[in-house]
Structure formats: C-alpha cells, structure tokens
Amino acid sequence: MIITLNLLDTNRKKHYLRKRVFSTIGKSVEIFLFFVLIIGVALSVAEYALEENFQVVTEQTTFINKNVTGFNKDIDKANKKLEKIDKVQKEYIAWSPLLMEIANAVPSGVRVESLIIDKKESSLKIKGQANTRDNFLITKSNLEKIFFISKVESPITNLLAKENVSFDLTITLDFSRL
C-alpha cells in the first residue's frame, strides 16, 4: 500500500487545484479553437471549390443558351415555313381530275374555246361553240350532273340559234364536295 503525504497548506492546495483546472480549461479551449480552425479552413476550401464549379456551370449554361437561341430561331423559321406549306396544301385543288370530268361532259360537236377558273369566286366560265342547240343542251345537262358543280348559269341568248350556237356558261363550283 502506498501512502501519499500532502505537506502543502490549504491555500497552496487550492492554488495548485485552480492552476490545474485553468490549465485543463486552457488546453480544452486550445483544442476547441484548433478544431474550429480546421473546420474554417475546410469550409473555405469548399467555398472556393463551389465558386469555381459555379463559374464553370455558368459559362457552360451561357454557351448552351447562345447555341439554343440559334436553334430556337432556326426551329421558328422552319415552323413558319411548315405553316405556309400546310396552308398551301390545304388550299390546293387538284385541277386535272376536275378538268377531265368537265372535258368528259362535253360531247362531240361542241368545242370549248375558253375556260376561266376563278378560285376566289368558286366559279368557272366556259365559252364555246356547239354545232346544234341540242349539243349545247346536252353539254349543259352533263355539266349539271357533275358532283362538284352546284349551279350552271346560261343566258337566254345561248338558246336563240339552232345551229352554230356560240355559248357562255357560268358555273358555280362547290369545293366542299371535293
């Protein structure tokens, strides 16, 4: 067994005790400040890295936005062209089959001298010469039977001559039937 003797008086004991406590507190504060310093340095390095990364991302975004703006303009131009093409296609009428239908309605002995199409007015004007009044009437009747023709107008003067009938017809077209 070890016996410890303490020959110091009470004041000195208290003084050494306070010195040890303050020394321990001082070392604890030093260790705490050291960790605070380490954490501060780590956060500063992280902040620097994040700022660098942010600059790189900003530059890339700016570059991409410049390129995308160019692409968007190109896409807008292409869309406008496609809209114009679509409009033209919607307004397009295949005239060849319609004119073939009209030509088939004209019997022999009838000559068409002019044919004027007015798409805006949805009309067709035909001037021609028929050998006989009957050939003219057959032509008019045949035209009235065509599905895309809604009305055939013929002035009374077309019926005055029996032979060599010069005629004018105004035909109203119905494009909704096409």
Order the strands of the 110-118 sheet from edge to edge. 110-118, 123-132, 163-173, 149-153
In this structure, is residue 144 part of a structural domain?
A: yes
Could you say which of 59, 92, 125 is where a domain stops?
Answer: 92
> 152: closest CA among 131, 167, 133, 171?
171
> 98: closest CA among 21, 2, 173?
173
Question: Domain with 115 in it: what CATH number?
Answer: 3.30.1360.100
Q: What's residue 45's pLDDT?
A: 95
Answer yes or no: is pLDDT of 70 > 90.
no
How far, in Å, CA of 92 to CA of 88, rounded? 6
73 lies in the same domain as 25: yes
86 lies in the same domain as 100: no
In this structure, is residue 32 part of a structural domain?
A: yes
**pLDDT tens digit sequence for 84-143:** 999 888 888 888 889 999 999 999 999 999 999 998 898 999 999 999 999 999 999 999
* Residues 6+ away with beta carbon under 8 Å from 169: 125, 126, 127, 128, 140, 143, 152, 153, 154, 158
Q: What's residue 68's pLDDT?
A: 76
**pLDDT tens digit sequence for 6-26:** 777 888 888 888 999 999 999
Q: Which domain holds residue 52?
A: 12-92
